[in-house]
Amino acid sequence: MSSSTGPSEPNHVLEFPGGYTRSVGPVIGRFLSELRDGRLVGVRTAGGRVLVPPSEHDPDTGEDVTGEFVGVGPAGTVTTWSWVPRPAKEHPLDRPFAWALIRPDGADTALLHALDLGVFEEGAQPPKFLKTGMRVRPRWRPERTGGIGDIECFQPEVTLINAPTRLEYELRGGKALRRFLEGIAEGRILGHRCPVCEQVIVPMKGLCPRDGVPTIEEVELPDTGTVTTFAVNNIPDPRAPEVPFVSAYVLLDGAGLTMLTLVAGVPADQVRMGMRVRAAWRPREEWDRSMNNIRWFEPLDEPDVPFDEIKDYL
Partner 1 sequence: MRREIAVVAFAQTRHSGADEGLAEIEMLAPVITEIKERTGLARFGFTCSGSCDYLAGAPFSFVSALDAIGAWPPISESHVEMDAAWALYEAWVKLLHGDIDTALVYGFGKSSQGNLRSILTQQLDPYHLAPLGIDSVSLAALQARAYMERSGVKEDDLRAVAARSRASGRGNPFALHLPEPGADEEYDVAPLRPYDVAPITDGAAAIVLAAGDRARELCERPAWITGIDHRGEPHAPGVRDLTRSEATRLAGERAGEKAGAAGVEVAELHAQFSHEELILREALGLGDDVRVNPSGGALSANPMMAAGLIRIGEAAARIHDGSASRTLGHASSGPCLQQNLVCVLSEETGASHG
- β-strand pairing of 217-221 with 189-193: antiparallel
| Cβ-based nearer residue to partner 1, 13 or 235 | 13
* Smallest distance from partner 1 to CB 286, Å: 46
- State how far the alpha carbon of 295 is from the alpha carbons of 37, 263, 278, 284, 303, in Å: 63, 9, 11, 12, 23
Strand partners, 82: 99
215 vs 206: CA distance, rounded Å:
5
Q: Which of 88, 213, 232, 243 binds partner 1 (CB under 8 A)?
A: 88
Task: Work out whether 224 is an interface residue with partner 1 (CB under 8 A).
Answer: no
Say which DSSP state 46 is in: T
Q: Are 200 and 191 in contact (CB under 8 A)?
A: yes
Strands across the sheet containing 217-221: 200-201, 189-193, 217-221
| Cβ-based nearer residue to partner 1, 23 or 270 | 23
| Cβ-based nearer residue to partner 1, 52 or 279 | 52
192 vs 199: CA distance, rounded Å:
8
Task: Work out whether 240 is an interface residue with partner 1 (CB under 8 A).
Answer: no
Q: Tell me the window of 66-74, 102-110, 221-229, 263-271 that interacts with partner 1 (CB under 8 A).
A: 102-110
Task: Work out whether 3 is an interface residue with partner 1 (CB under 8 A).
Answer: yes
77 vs 109: CA distance, rounded Å:
11
Task: Work out whether 61 is an interface residue with partner 1 (CB under 8 A).
Answer: no
Judged by CB under 8 A, the number of residues near partner 1 is 48
* Residue 133 CB neighbours (<10 A): 7
- State how far the alpha carbon of 155 is from the alpha carbons of 122, 260, 295, in Å: 19, 46, 46
| Cβ-based nearer residue to partner 1, 53 or 74 | 53
Q: Tell me the window of 144-152, 206-214, 223-231, 279-287 that interacts with partner 1 (CB under 8 A).
A: 144-152
Q: Tell me the window of 64-72, 103-111, 156-164, 280-288 that interacts with partner 1 (CB under 8 A).
A: 103-111
Task: Work out whether 132 is an interface residue with partner 1 (CB under 8 A).
Answer: yes
* Smallest distance from partner 1 to CB 92, Å: 6
Task: Work out whether 148 is an interface residue with partner 1 (CB under 8 A).
Answer: yes
Q: What phi, psi does 90 have (nearest 5°)?
A: -80, -10
Strands (E), 18-150: 41-44, 50-51, 69-71, 76-84, 97-104, 111-115, 135-140
Task: Work out whether 156 is an interface residue with partner 1 (CB under 8 A).
Answer: no
Q: Which of 2, 162, 165, 234 binds partner 1 (CB under 8 A)?
A: 2
Task: Work out whether 110 is an interface residue with partner 1 (CB under 8 A).
Answer: yes
| Cβ-based nearer residue to partner 1, 55 or 233 | 55
| Cβ-based nearer residue to partner 1, 7 or 48 | 7
Q: Which of 82, 187, 211, 300 binds partner 1 (CB under 8 A)?
A: 82
Task: Work out whether 147 is an interface residue with partner 1 (CB under 8 A).
Answer: yes
Q: What phi, psi does 27 have (nearest 5°)?
A: -85, -55
Q: Which residues contact 120 (CB under 8 A, 6 or more apart)?
A: 95, 96, 127
Contact positions vs partner 1 (CB under 8 A) = 2-7, 10, 12-14, 20, 22, 24, 28, 32, 51-53, 55, 59, 79-85, 88, 90-92, 99-101, 103, 109-114, 123, 125-126, 132, 147-149
